[in-house]
Amino acid sequence: MSDQSSIEWTDATWNPVRGCSKVSPGCKHCYAETFAERFRGTPDHPYEQGFDLRLVFGKLPEPLRWARARKIFVNSMSDLFHEQVPDVFIEEVFRVMVEADWHVYQVLTKRAERLRAVSRALDRELVAHDHIWLGVSVEDRKYGLPRIEALREARAGKRFLSIEPLLEDLGEFDLGGIDWVIVGGESGRGARPMHGDWAMAIREQCREANVPFFFKQWGGVNKKKAGRDLGGRRYDEFPVAETGELPSRGARWRILAGAEARAAALERELGIEPLTQIRRAG
């Protein structure tokens, strides 16, 4: 987990899964892949295996160690709902999020159909909490917009859209059941441009639907220079979330010990081979 994330809409990141594979145009310039592949072959580095998919059991209990409440982006370096992540592993991630309920969790995926299926299969007590936000990426009309309906059908405490990178005009779309919208342009080398009227149109739809709107960035090769203002102002809106109270130190460490024991048992159950040898599909 990283305590000082540079991602504008979160405070920290938690990566019990590392690595992923591409599924749509929004993945073309994946920052996580670029970062991870720089360290492929570096002995003992967390990304020694580059962007190959890995389950990291030792990371599962980490939110329980953090006493100060944070917004936590879950799997900033992967996708929790990747087809090769076992259901029981996803279930344990949700269990930890329920136990460490003084944080807010932001779970983002491009695999909306699996999100829908798994969230509906899990016990409601593991999923439907106000501090657990489930979201989908929406980069274009063809791949992105259909994810919204799958998200709407998923069981969730709150639902959000990450419309980043915004690659084209999305037109009008239904924001019913959506609690938060993030919009941003692509950044880095080869960044595809975002037109201002595309972002402004989404902002107006959020206003009409009374949905909090967060403008992350214009993007481009130098995203800091391009800035974060849209139409002359900055949008840093968030939904309000109900979170739990921090347990006493002793109670928290007892819960942590239980989570560590479950993580160790899960590692024994799944075995070591699937954790280190799952290669990227693309």
Residue 4 has a pLDDT of 63
The predicted model scores a pTM of 0.93
Question: What DSSP string describes 43-77?
Answer: TT-TTTTTTSBEE-GGGTTGGGG--S--EEEETTT
**Quick check: is 67 in a domain?**
yes
Q: Are 133 and 179 in contact (CB under 8 A)?
A: yes
Sorting pLDDT into bands at 50, 70 and 90, what band is 3?
low
**Quick check: is 99 in a domain?**
yes
Give the other-Cβ count within 10 Å of 17's Cβ. 25
Give the domain range for residue 183: 12-276
For 207-244, the pLDDT digits (tens) are 999 999 999 999 877 778 888 999 999 999 999 999 99
**Quick check: is 248 in a domain?**
yes
**Quick check: is 3 in a domain?**
no
Sorting pLDDT into bands at 50, 70 and 90, what band is 6?
confident
Does 143 have pLDDT greater than 60? Answer: yes
**Quick check: is 2 in a domain?**
no
* CATH number of the domain to which 208 belongs: 3.20.20
Average pLDDT over residues 8-37: 94
**Quick check: is 262 in a domain?**
yes
Residues 6+ apart with CB under 8 A from 277: none
The burial of 249, by beta-carbon neighbours within 10 Å (0-12 exposed, 13-18 middle, 19 or more buried), is given as exposed
If we measure between CA atoms, which residue out of 84, 151, 149, 89 comes closest to residue 122? 89
Residue 278 has a pLDDT of 36
For 240-250, the pLDDT digits (tens) are 999 999 999 99
**Quick check: is 1 in a domain?**
no
**Quick check: is 216 in a domain?**
yes
**Half-sphere exposure of residue 154: CA atoms within 13 angstroms, side-chain side:** 31
**Which residues lie across from 182 on neighbouring strands?**
162, 214
Residue 59 Cα to chain centre, angstroms: 16
Q: How many domains does the chain have?
A: 1
Tokens of 184: 């941003």
For 109-121, the pLDDT digits (tens) are 999 999 999 999 9
Amino acid type, 40: R
Residues 6+ apart with CB under 8 A from 9: 71, 73, 106, 182, 214, 216, 238
Residue 212 sits at φ, ψ, to 5 deg, of -55, 140
